[in-house]
Amino acid sequence: MDSYDTGKTAVAAAGSTAVKRKVAWSSYAARFRELGLLFFIVLLCMIIQLRNPSFLTWDNIQDLVNNTAILSILSVGMMMVIITRGIDLSVGAILALSGMISAMTVSEYPGTPPMLALLLGAVIGIVCGSIIGFLVSKMDLLPIIATLGMMNVYRGLTYLISDGSWVSAHQMSEAFKKLGTGTWLGISYLVWFAVLVYVIAYYFITHTRTGRQIYAVGSNPEAARISGIQMNRILWLVYAIMGGLSGMAGVLWVAKFASAQGDTATGYELSVIAACVVGGVSIAGGVGKLSGVLLGAILLGIINNALPLINVSPFWQMGIQGAIILAAVLINAVIKRGVDRTHLMRRNI
Amino acid sequence: MSEYILELNGITKRFSGVKALDHVYFKLKAGEIHALMGENGAGKSTFIKIITGVHEADEGEILLDGQPVNFKNPNEAKRAGIAAIYQHVTCYPDLSVTENIFMGHERIAKGSKRILWKEMHEEAQRLLEELGASFSPKTQMGALSVAEQQIVEIAKALSMDARIIIMDEPTAALSSRESEELYRITEQLRDRGAAIIFISHRFEDMYRLASKVTVFRDSKYIGTWKTDEISKSELIVAMVGREITQLFPKKDVAIGEELLRVEGLGRTGYFADVSFTIHRGEIVGLTGLVGSGRTEVCETLFGIQTPDQGQIWLKGRKTRIKSPAQAMRKGIAYLPEDRQKQGLVLDWSISDNITLPSLWQISRKGWTHKKKEREVAKELAERLGVKARTIFDLVSSLSGGNQQKVVFAKLLAMDIDVLILDEPTKGVDVGAKSAIYEIISELAAQGLGILMVSSEMPEVIGMCDKVLVMREGRITASLDRSELSQENILAAAMAD
Amino acid sequence: MNSRTIEQKMDFSWRRFFLQWEWMLLAVFIAVNIINANLSDYYLDFTNLRDAMMSFLDKAFIVLPMVLVMIMGDIDISVGSTVALSAVVMADLYNKGVPMVPAMLICLLTGTICGWLNGWLIVRFKELSSVIVTLSTMIIYRGIAYILLEDQAAGGFPSWFSNLGWGYIGSVPIIVVVFVVFAVIFSLLLHKSVLGRWIYAIGNNSTSSRYSGVQVDRIKILVFTLTGFMAAVAALFLTARMGSTRPNIAMGYELEVIAMVVLGGISTSGGKGRMIGAIIAVFLIGYLRYGLGLINVQAQALLIIIGLLLILAVMLPKLKPGNRKQA
């Protein structure tokens, strides 16, 4: 850069070499975070495989992928929410509510086409999400407060409408259960749904103005306001999308496990948030990639799936998940510091 | 078709009853660089906000190509071809340069509304090349220097085919070489037929670039001149409206023993090799352009930031300052630059604000002592001449000058030796300014050592015993009172 | 320099006095009681009303420090998990042969450490909000509780321990006495001490506070540590009342505690609110819950009501024209 004079490098050189090495490491980490994550996943798989050879069998892989599909769908929505500097704790509750309503509909009217049930779930989810979006955008509620409150409202509603009872496998039509168990070209519908969601989401966040505005709002809300982006609309939208995806996931979940209960997916939002932060979505907003989120979801899927295989008690799962979230946000923070430092050096006086 | 591309007639704007602009006029021709000058608080930023549609004027008319317009939001102004480039670039640090350029007016495909990334990248590349920038449009915005970010902002204005470009102190944070680059680009824009409003505190900018200059003072329109027909001193008189020398009640104080000595202080990325001393009764000025590292030096002395190198001696003893609380215990107080964000708790009363730093000393072993607090607050508020009805008035209801007096009162409630003032008269009206100068002189007379950061040259010259000038993180000159002149300071503050 | 005088007296306005949020809360509280009394004949029974407190006051222990946390502009959603972990650690140790009193002390210590860790992380990693930090530790603390006890219940405590939950001093339940003591301590701390003023200062403007020499980091750690400690106190009383503990106790406490604090008039953006409001809100929600229980309203319906109360409590002040805070 010709506009930099030599005086600057002198000051920069004054920084200790230890600092410099850290800088190099962290900016490297930021650039290749997805590769690193992928590498970590491969490593993890190898370790698990060594301890239990039944891990990398076709059946188990299929199982794992199917189990991860729903998580990965939800992570897309959560990514957009977190990019706008928000958070959504109501995911599990919306999932349960829409799963319950659609399961009850299916058991009442066995002729309901599965796609209609899916649509119903999505609509319920969108309504639930829109309410949260309204509270966050128009009423200025902190996302944590709005979603904490509504999470309990939705969870309570699920219990109320089901009167505490379950909808179980024999009350659902075969066609409906196919949604969760059926395959096409040897790959389950769940995975196809996830692929569809990712393709649409990719197009949406990279190739449409509204999609890019999500990033803009998260990266610098002040600038977004000045440049005339309708913040309220964007915030509303991301929570509605999150709700819609949760609603759809609810139907898939109920179809897959062939049961709808009041406590379905309690705390599932935590796995979703974990997938996002592990995938490099910044809690500070503005940053997040679908590829990262997908890898994050896969990593969480593997951990959830493989723990029993290597004789780790399932009771460790929660602790491990929490540790992963914390480690991921801390590592993100440290990398961010390093990158900012690098930028500062470049900007040096 | 009017001779002027933009005309503002009798624009008035009030904020909760106070006039921020009072019948101001401005006329701009295509292919012209028109400077707008005025002191801090003269109404320049409000004026820009009205042109760019952030605020609506209460009175007056705006003519664009002779047609009256009324921008209700920034988008309407943008669509009319008006773009603004600010000193603090309002960018999206996480997004690419291309996106920053095209945010809000992305190139999209006709039918599908798909964003045409390839076209945008190419267009961005072309614009950047045209402006002589060498970074890629795919770079992340946050990784660029301030100067580079401004080039992106200019590219953004070009991409929108802006006909009117407002530059708000664009050179303030730039080195002289970078400023030179900006001059070149600005002239290039003018030659393409754009009309440019150039706001700057630097006379050099103005004489170098502008063909006309308009001056505002205290929210009012003072006049418009051709730049080759008005001298610097005439301009200064127009801006300040008075002879500057009368304003400063500087007292002759005997300089006492050394209070603070700083040697080779440095903080990577901000400043390096800063050394100076402050004695009792001495007012040391610290000046230089915005971004030259002045505030960072102060914050390091006050323990907000920690230095990487160098030593600090306090009353002859080597010391380390790790936090503001520690600095205060050692007798250093700091009046921060941003009164509202750093100096005050706006929703609190005058009394609570004044006693906040000294609360522990006023308390009874940790339990608050309301009566004593009130007495302390009342005494200090009166001593500093805070204009308020009761000490329970909220500081948010006070004027800028009175708020600043409250901040002074906070610091004086403590037992201090060294007082660091960062832009003590920023955003303060003229009357309050002289009151604040009086306070500062009085404090120096009482034997405090004062370090005063200021961008306002007259203030530095009028008040200080010694002036340190910083440029790009280093002290480039240390001038005695006898050597003080605008020219000397400017020469040291501006590069090569 | 200037001899102008400034008044030292505060103007007193009856209007302002009666427009306080706490009066409204009190009115709602009385209304709830009247309605409850009309709905159920059993409601207005002194013994019942007194003993109802035993069932909801354990949460109230956490409300007290949560008021401080939220006035600072932060939030702690790990409190339910801290309760569970402290209780589980105590039960686990007791069942492994540690005497009860040391086990109880370790329970308090566990909660304190959990709280300290929250505070330390928030201060050390300023770029992380308290939301995300306590969200992670919420999962971790409960996760550890699961690791320790799996899905077992642990109990068999000495009989004197259950007195904490069920005992009386004279005719007043022990828990009420302890709560009153803590409530007085916390009220004094918030409203009469220098620390309390600093907490308000941080919540209003943490930058200004720091520039004014307030040791923001230390105070934050202290307040979060206090929160952890009080969660452990709640764990003691909860375990004593239930006679045993499980890793899944105190699920959803964070919601109820935050709802009580917010309903008590503490602003979610920090800096505003009073202890008394939150204390009234504790009794309001507590008796609401008790009354609805008497007329057989399901526990799940209560979830809805509390969730809505939380949201309404935040929304109401914002709906008042001219009172909308800038985001």
Between A237 and B474, the higher pLDDT residue? A237
- Cβ–Cβ gap B391/C197 under 8 Å: no
- Between CA B139 and CA B142 the distance in angstroms is 9
Instruction: Give the pLDDT band (50/70/90) at residue A15.
Output: very low
Decide whether B6-242 matches B245-493 in CATH topology.
Answer: yes
Q: Which chain A residue lies closest to B176 (C-alpha atoms)?
A: A3
Reported ipTM:
0.84
Mean pLDDT of chain A: 82
Which of the residue ranges A115-124, B229-238, B350-359, C136-145 would you say has the lowest mean pLDDT?
B229-238
Residues of C in contact with A156 (CB under 8 A): 300-304, 307
Is the whole-model pTM more than 0.90? no
The Cα of C216 is separated from the nearest Cα of chain A by a number of Å equal to: 21
Chains that touch B (3 or more CB pairs under 8 A): A, C
Which of the residue ranges B96-105, B169-178, C15-24, C157-166 would you say has the lowest mean pLDDT?
B169-178
Cβ-based neighbour number of residue A107 at 10 Å? 17
B496 pLDDT exceeds 60? Answer: no
pLDDT score of C8: 66
pLDDT, average across residues C165-184? 89
pLDDT, average across residues A255-279? 85
- Beta pairing, strands B33-37 & B195-199: parallel
Instruction: Select from A110, A77, A274 the least CA-distant residue to A177.
Output: A110
- Between CA B420 and CA B452 the distance in angstroms is 6
- Cβ–Cβ gap A227/B103 under 8 Å: yes
Residues of C in contact with B432 (CB under 8 A): none
Give percent of chain C with pLDDT exceeding 70. Answer: 93
Residues of A in contact with B268 (CB under 8 A): 11-12, 14-15, 19, 345
Give percent of chain C with pLDDT exceeding 90. Answer: 47
The CATH topology of domain B245-493 is Rossmann fold (3.40.50)
DSSP for A16-70, written as a single string: -HHHHHHHHHHHHHHHTHHHHHHHHHHHHHHHHHHH-TTTTSHHHHHHHHHHHHH
The SS3 call for residue C319 is helix
**Pairs of residues, one from chain A and one from chain C, whose beta carbons lie less than 8 Å apart:** 138
Instruction: Give the pLDDT band (50/70/90) at residue A6.
Output: very low
Q: What is the pLDDT of residues B257-312, one digit of tens each?
A: 889 999 999 888 788 889 999 999 999 999 887 667 888 899 999 999 888 889 99
pLDDT score of C185: 95
- Between CA A63 and CA B70 the distance in angstroms is 62
3-state DSSP percent of chain A in helix, strand and coil, to 5: 75, 0, 20
pLDDT score of B40: 61
Instruction: Select from C327, C91, C51 the least CA-distant residue to A140.
Output: C327
**Strongest mean pLDDT among A9-13, B70-74, C256-260:** C256-260
Q: Are B240 and B217 in contact (CB under 8 A)?
A: yes
Cβ-based neighbour number of residue C220 at 10 Å? 23
Token pair 């526990």: residue: C299
pLDDT score of C325: 38
Q: Is B429 left (phi over 0), alpha (psi -120 to 50) or beta?
A: beta
Q: Which CATH class is domain B6-242?
A: alpha beta
- Cβ–Cβ gap A145/C262 under 8 Å: yes
A347 pLDDT exceeds 60? Answer: no
Cβ contacts of B287 within 8 Å, gap of 6 or more: B294, B453, B454, B455, B457, B460, B467, B468, B469, B470, B489, B493
Instruction: Select from B438, B115, B476, B72 the least CA-distant residue to B292.
Output: B476
B89 pLDDT exceeds 70? Answer: no
pLDDT score of A343: 65
Q: What is the pLDDT of residues B20-38, one digit of tens each?
A: 888 889 888 888 899 888 7
Q: Which two tokens stand for residue B304?
A: 């907000």
Which residues are bridge partners to C107 per DSSP? none
Q: Which chain B residue lies closest to A285 (C-alpha atoms)?
A: B94
- With an 8 Å Cβ cutoff, the interface of chain A facing chain C consists of 87, 135, 139-142, 144-146, 148-153, 155-157, 159-160, 164, 221, 262, 270, 273, 277, 283-284, 313, 315-323, 325-326, 329-330, 333, 336-337
Count Cα neighbours of A179 within 13 Å in the Cβ-side half-sphere. 31
DSSP for B25-66, written as a single string: EEEE-TT-EEEEE--TTSSHHHHHHHHTTSS--SEEEEEETT
The Cα of A145 is separated from the nearest Cα of chain B by a number of Å equal to: 24
Instruction: Give the pLDDT band (50/70/90) at residue A33.
Output: confident
DSSP for C147-168, written as a single string: HHHTT--EE---HHHHHHHH-E
What's CA B62's distance to the chain center, in Å? 28
Best probe of the B interface among A3, A212, A230, by most B CBs < 10 A, is A3
* Domain residue extents for chain B: 6-242, 245-493
- With an 8 Å Cβ cutoff, the interface of chain C facing chain B consists of 1-11, 192-198, 201, 204-205, 207-215, 271
Give percent of chain B with pLDDT exceeding 70. Answer: 92
Q: Which two tokens stand for residue B170?
A: 């664009």
Residues of A in contact with B473 (CB under 8 A): 11, 349
Instruction: Give the pLDDT band (50/70/90) at residue A98.
Output: very high
Best probe of the A interface among B72, B85, B92, B296, by most A CBs < 10 A, is B92
Q: Which chain B residue lies closest to C2 (C-alpha atoms)?
A: B385
- Cβ–Cβ gap C132/A87 under 8 Å: yes
Q: Are B453 and B295 in contact (CB under 8 A)?
A: yes
- Between CA B312 and CA B261 the distance in angstroms is 6
- Between CA A74 and CA C280 the distance in angstroms is 39
Closest in C136, C144, C303 to A326, CB measured = C136
Instruction: Select from A253, A333, A256 the least CA-distant residue to A26.
Output: A333
- Cβ–Cβ gap A319/C132 under 8 Å: no
Residues of B in contact with A345 (CB under 8 A): 268-269
Q: Which chain A residue lies closest to B141 (C-alpha atoms)?
A: A343
Q: Which chain B residue lies closest to C203 (C-alpha atoms)?
A: B345
Best probe of the C interface among A85, A318, A335, by most C CBs < 10 A, is A318
Q: What angle do the packed helices C46-71 and C174-192 form, to 10 degrees?
A: 30
Q: Which chain C residue lies closest to B330 (C-alpha atoms)?
A: C213
Q: Are C275 and C187 in contact (CB under 8 A)?
A: yes
- Cβ–Cβ gap C6/B368 under 8 Å: no
Give percent of chain A with pLDDT exceeding 90. Answer: 30
pLDDT score of A4: 32
Give percent of chain B with pLDDT exceeding 90. Answer: 15
Instruction: Give the pLDDT band (50/70/90) at residue B55.
Output: confident
- Between CA B332 and CA B349 the distance in angstroms is 24
C124 touches chain A (CB under 8 A): no
Q: What's chain C's Rg over C-alpha atoms?
A: 21
Q: What is the pLDDT of residues C282-314, one digit of tens each?
A: 999 888 888 888 877 777 888 888 888 888 888
Q: What is the pLDDT of residues B241-263, one digit of tens each?
A: 655 555 677 777 788 888 999 99
pLDDT, average across residues B317-333? 91
Q: Are A315 and C147 in contact (CB under 8 A)?
A: yes
Q: What is the pLDDT of residues C36-92, one digit of tens each?
A: 888 777 777 788 888 888 888 989 999 999 999 999 999 999 999 999 999 999 999
Q: Which chain C residue lies closest to A148 (C-alpha atoms)?
A: C255
pLDDT score of C106: 95
Alpha-carbon distance values, B257 to B116, B254, B417 (Å):
68, 10, 11
**Strongest mean pLDDT among A238-247, A326-335, B6-15, C143-152:** A238-247
Q: Which chain A residue lies closest to C307 (C-alpha atoms)?
A: A149
A34 pLDDT exceeds 90? Answer: no
pLDDT score of C2: 44
Alpha-carbon distance values, C289 to B313, C56, C83, C174, C189 (Å):
63, 9, 21, 21, 29
Mean pLDDT of chain B: 84
Closest in B73, B266, B293 to A14, CB measured = B266
**Pairs of residues, one from chain A and one from chain B, whose beta carbons lie less than 8 Å apart:** 117
A253 touches chain B (CB under 8 A): no
Closest in B94, B117, B268 to A215, CB measured = B94
Closest in A16, A19, A349 to B473, CB measured = A349
Q: Which chain A residue lies closest to B178 (C-alpha atoms)?
A: A3
Best probe of the C interface among B349, B359, B374, B380, by most C CBs < 10 A, is B359
